[in-house]
Amino acid sequence: MHGRNPGRVGGSAGIGTEENAAAGGDRSAVTVIGLGAMGAALANAFLDSGRPTTVWNRSPEKADGLVAEGAVRAATATEAVSASPLVVVCVLDYRAVHDVLGPAGAALSGRVLVNLTNGTPEQARRTAAWAAERGADYLDGGIMAVPPMIGSPESVLLYSGSADAFEAHRRTLEILGTGRHLGADAGLAPLHDLAMLTGAYGMFAGFLQAVAMVGTERAEVAEFTSSLLVPWLNAMTTELPRLAERVDTGDHATDVGSNLAMQAAAFPNLVDAAGAQGVDAGLLAPVRALLDRGVAEGHGAEELSSLVELLRKPAPA
């Protein structure tokens, strides 16, 4: 850990450069607005790196621990924005972003606003336009980590929006974790963020269904998970790049290993077994319906990847 240096209110504005940041001048300063679990972790990482860090939260007491470690507590959101060329906001939702930053008004001009609040692509695009009207360069971001991971190599942050702003502040932003800029469209980071979370929740749903089933026979869930389920899921993930290629090319019918009709015929066993064990099969029902729809619409001889085409169009009424 680097020693912590007190920040100060009143840093210079502007995008700045990595040379400025490396020199440790005003342009290396950063402001963090929003000090929930994630926001506090972001501020701590900046402090640990030696960056002068200004913090602000609507509940001022949430800044107490950070101030004790060397952060400067701004009295208002406007003062917080004015303190640094790089302003990172991480609050509950996009409504809170606008509520908090709205009064800052002209103070945003010439600064880089990095919004790490979870939201939708359309919310990000509207906020980018809002920031541009106030003269700020804008980056939207998705944090692919939990608070304890911030600042570690395992932490990944997705960014989209101003490429110039990202490059100018890359070294500061990568204090938080590996940064990846996805493009100029501010909506790309939240789109990828939510898509990755969708994949994770699908995995968690399968895990919950599986352990609910085996647990009915007094099996040790931890042993089942570590010795059987995790190795099986790891093996299945090796299929994902191959299926992804089929989605990109649109070819779901060449060299099919396990066709949709076969999977649809076997899938009711999963539902029936869950029911027989007294387990709610509600998590499985939508998958069964999608498999059946795929077969009904003539995709029975194709790969599982063909279901993406169905997901991209509404189901028939």
Q: What pLDDT score does 105 carry?
A: 86
Claim to verify: residue 199 and residue 307 sit in the same structural domain? yes
Does 200 share its domain with 179? no
Same structural domain for residues 173 and 233?
A: no
What pLDDT does 272 receive? 97
6 within a domain of the structure (yes/no): no
The domain in which residue 117 lies consists of: 18-184
- The predicted structure's pLDDT at residue 317: 65
Q: Are residues 80 and 168 in the same domain?
A: yes
Q: Is residue 170 one of the residues assigned to a domain?
A: yes
Is 30 inside any structural domain?
yes
* Confidence (pLDDT) at 189: 98
Do 243 and 170 reside in the same domain of the chain?
A: no
Q: Which of 161, 184, 207 is the last residue of a domain?
A: 184
In a domain, 3, yes or no: no
Q: What is the pLDDT of residue 41?
A: 98
Kindly state whether residue 200 falls inside one of the protein's structural domains.
Answer: yes
Pick from 184, 203, 226: which residue ends a domain?
A: 184
Q: Is there a domain that residue 154 lies in?
A: yes
Residues 88, 153 share a domain: yes
What span, in angstroms and rounded, lies between the C-alpha atoms of 109 and 310?
45
Instruction: Return contacts of 13-17, CB within 8 angstroms, 24+ apart.
Output: 13/82, 13/85, 13/109, 13/110, 13/111, 14/85, 14/110, 14/111, 15/85, 15/112, 15/137, 15/164, 15/165, 15/168, 15/169, 16/85, 16/86, 16/168, 16/169, 17/168
Q: Which of 40, 163, 148 shows the shortest CA–CA distance to 90?
A: 40
Q: Residue 289: in which H helix or E strand, if any? A: helix 285-296
CATH code at position 49: 3.40.50.720
Does one domain contain both 200 and 70?
no
Nearest CA-CA partner of 9 in 72, 67, 63, 64 = 72
Q: Measuring CA to CA, which residue among 308, 292, 298 is closest to residue 250?
A: 308
Last residue of a domain, one of 184, 219, 241: 184
DSSP string, 144-157: ES-GGGTTSTT-EE
Going from the C-alpha of 98 to that of each of 11, 92, 101, 158, 298, the distances in angstroms are 23, 11, 5, 21, 48
List CB contacts of 111: < 8 A, sequence separation 6 or more: 13, 14, 81, 84, 85, 86, 87, 136, 137
My answer on whether 276 and 232 are in the same domain is yes
8 within a domain of the structure (yes/no): no
Residue 162 and residue 208 share a domain: no
Q: Which of 49, 75, 51 is nearest to 63 (CA)?
A: 75
- Is residue 12 domain-resident? no
Q: Are residues 25 and 126 in the same domain?
A: yes
Per-residue pLDDT of the chain (317 residues; tens, 9 = 90+): 334 444 433 333 334 444 444 433 434 899 999 999 999 999 999 999 999 999 999 999 999 999 999 999 999 999 999 999 999 999 999 999 999 999 998 999 999 999 999 999 999 999 999 999 999 999 999 999 999 999 999 999 999 999 999 999 999 999 999 999 999 999 999 999 999 999 999 999 999 999 999 999 999 999 999 999 999 999 999 999 999 999 999 999 999 999 999 999 999 999 999 999 999 999 999 999 999 999 999 999 999 999 999 999 877 66
**Structure-token pair, residue 113:** 């606003």
Q: Any idea what the CATH number is for the domain that residue 210 is in?
A: 1.10.1040.10
Q: What is the pLDDT of residue 14?
A: 39
pTM listed for this prediction: 0.88
Q: Please count the structural domains in the chain.
A: 2
Instruction: Looking at the structure, tell me whether residues 157 and 250 fall in a common domain.
Output: no
- Considering the domain architecture, whether residues 216 and 288 belong to the same structural domain is answered as yes
